Amino acid sequence: MSERSNIRDVAARAGVAVKTVSRVLNGHPYVSADTKARVEEAMRALDFRPSVAARILSGAKSNQVALIYDNHSPYYMFQIQTGCWEYCKQMGIRLLAQPVDVADPRVGDQVRGLVTETHVDGIILSSPVTDCDPVLRALEAMDIPFVRISPGTNHALTSSVFMDDAQAADDMTTHLINFGHRRIGFIKGHPNHMASDDRLFGYRRALDRAGISYEPGLVCDGEFDFESGVRAANYLLDQPDRPTAIFAANDDMAAGVLAVAHDRNLDLPGELSVAGFDDTTLARTVWPPLTTIHQPMAELARTAAEILIAGGDITHRRLPHTLVERASVAPPARKTP
């Protein structure tokens, strides 16, 4: 099928008037069974979606938007959904939240199906869906408005809202350096998220500015979940010259580091300082409470919903981050070179 197929193509293939196709789509009772069958066969042959046709014909708004996401942190997604929902509720818009798997080769078709079957007026994409090429291509082809939260690529493509992940990671690494830490472990985020690379870049930039050599052995892969934080912490803390601080690229992984440190009876933060990223509810409930980067997740989502519902020209908004100091960071008990 061509993405450009329209109701006129259906009418021509079925040998009927456009108005007749409209009647079939809207369940009009005064259409013969034979005509209905020919129209439906034409739609199947063209892979033409009835919900799209209905929306185009009526020109009506559904007053629904969809948030599409694929994220391993329930704390992060709770904030994103809350931010979107609060603004949509205020504006009388229904919010649909749909998880997808960006690694699924059919993800573009799944998103296309969601749009056509629910009549949504627009889409909000959360990371990492925000950089998923099949999804972006599908939405562009359908010519539906969408706004991306924290895109890492093609910034000029659509409206977006974001924060400076690299600078935030730089700020946290510098904070640890200022406390006297020189061996600072870093746990990367999920490889599907462009923010993971930005945060690693910020960590490395801060080390370089302070004259501290980058050691690949102090950097571990992570997946933005508790379990990967545990695995990375065990690796880092098994080293003969273990780090005096570990900076995890989100709070879920930092919580995994704290759990391993407790299991090993390490004094926190004396023997090990731990820092996170996001400032989710989890950061305030673990012990010791996490020093972390406050990412304005709910405000990012709320702003994305505001931009989408307002319509108009492509808009980009950058929101500020904040370094939140709590009890998980202190000067190292032992000095390192």
208 within 8 A of 173, measured Cβ to Cβ: no
Question: Both tokens of residue 336?
Answer: 């390192």
User: What is the per-residue DSSP string for 77-123?
Assistant: HHHHHHHHHHHHHHTT-EEEEEE--TTSTTHHHHHHHHHHHH--SEE
Pairwise CA distance, residues 160 & 148, whole Å? 5
* pLDDT surpasses 90 at 153: no
CA distances, 140 to each of 46, 208, 314 (Å): 19, 40, 14
Residue 195 belongs to what H/E stretch? helix 194-209
CB 170 within 8 A of CB 205: yes
State yes or no: pLDDT of 44 exceeds 60. Answer: yes
Beta bridge partners of 46: none
Place of tokens 């010259």: 241
The helix-helix angle for 18-25 and 33-46 (nearest 10°) equals 90
Read off the pLDDT of each residue in 109-120 and give the average, rounded to a whole number: 88
Dig out the tokens for 310 from the structure: 């307002």
Question: What's the start-to-end Cα distance of the chain, in Å?
Answer: 64
Residue 48: closest CA among 58, 40, 57, 38:
40
pLDDT recorded at residue 105? 94
pLDDT digits (tens, 9 = 90+) for 115-142: 888 889 899 999 899 999 999 999 988 8
CA 312 vs. chain centroid, Å, equals 23
Q: Tell me, what's the pLDDT at 58? A: 47
pTM: predicted TM-score of the whole model, two decimal places: 0.77
Closest to 16 measured CA to CA, from 97, 176, 4, 28 = 28
Distance CA(260)–CA(226), nearest Å, equals 11
Question: 64-163+298-320 with 165-296: one CATH topology?
Answer: yes
What CA–CA distance (Å, rounded) separates 119 from 70? Answer: 21
Res. 314: pLDDT tops 80: yes
29 confidence band (pLDDT: 50, 70, 90): low
pLDDT above 80 for 19: no
As its CATH architecture, domain 64-163+298-320 has: 3-Layer(aba) Sandwich (3.40)
The closest alpha carbon to 185, from 128, 242, 240, belongs to: 242
Measure the CA–CA gap between 192 and 216, rounded to whole angstroms: 20
Superfamily of domain 165-296: Response regulator (3.40.50.2300)
Give 262-292 pLDDT, tens digit per residue: 999 999 999 999 999 999 999 999 999 999 9
- Res 59 pLDDT > 60: no
Q: What's the average model confidence in pLDDT over 241-268? A: 97
Q: Write down the architecture of domain 7-58 according to CATH.
A: Orthogonal Bundle (1.10)
Q: Record the tokens describing residue 129, joined without a space.
A: 């869906």
Instruction: Give the pLDDT band (50/70/90) at residue 2.
Output: very low
Confidence of residue 63 (pLDDT cuts 50, 70, 90): confident
Q: pLDDT: is 4 or 88 the higher one?
A: 88
Task: Write down the pLDDT at residue 56.
Answer: 43
User: What pLDDT is recorded for position 170?
Assistant: 98
DSSP 218-263: GEE---SSHHHHHHHHHHHHTSTT--SEEEESSHHHHHHHHHHHHH
Domain boundaries, the chain: 7-58, 64-163+298-320, 165-296
Residue 250 pLDDT exceeds 50: yes
CA separation for the pair 97, 179 (Å, rounded): 42
Does the pLDDT value for residue 48 go beyond 90? Answer: no
